[in-house]
Structure 1
Amino acid sequence: MTTETHRQLLSVIAELRALDTFEPASLSALQLRHPAIALTLCWQDELVEREPYVALSNVEIHLVASATHQCSTLTFDLAASNGLLIALQD
């Protein structure tokens, strides 16, 4: 992961932490500000039971690592990440 990608991941996480609650409509603005970061939105019950990287009031944030010709995976390794999965709570 590049230093810029690392900086942007931390910036997105900081922006999400600053929100009282995450609204799905916020995703577009985040994507515009951080085009190099892959952001995916899903419902928490669509995931297998897994500890999040960060848990907030109404979302869990998971780190995503992906590469060309490989499946994306959830990880706890910030250095290997290039995206975030934002899981909404019901």
Structure 2
Amino acid sequence: MAGVGRRGIPHTIPERTDQARNRLRRGRRGGRSPAFDRNIYKQRNVVERCFNRLKQWRGIATRYDNTARSYEAAVTPASLLMWA
């Protein structure tokens, strides 16, 4: 399976310093440095924190529901309660 970069999907995780160092050490074979957008990363953080809060609900975290429709029916009231 091809990586996300080959499929044209941009990533939003910053490159670690040791990965950057190894990439630079390899020279041309190391490839280009990945683009990083700080604003997109902030938005991703908000979404990940929302998922973490939703997973505090046991039924949502363990996915007891068998169908997507019933799972959505459980996520919707939990989201509303978090928002309120």
Q: TM-score, normalised by structure 2?
A: 0.24
Per residue, is there more strand in 1 or in 2? 1
Per residue, is there more helix in 1 or in 2? 2
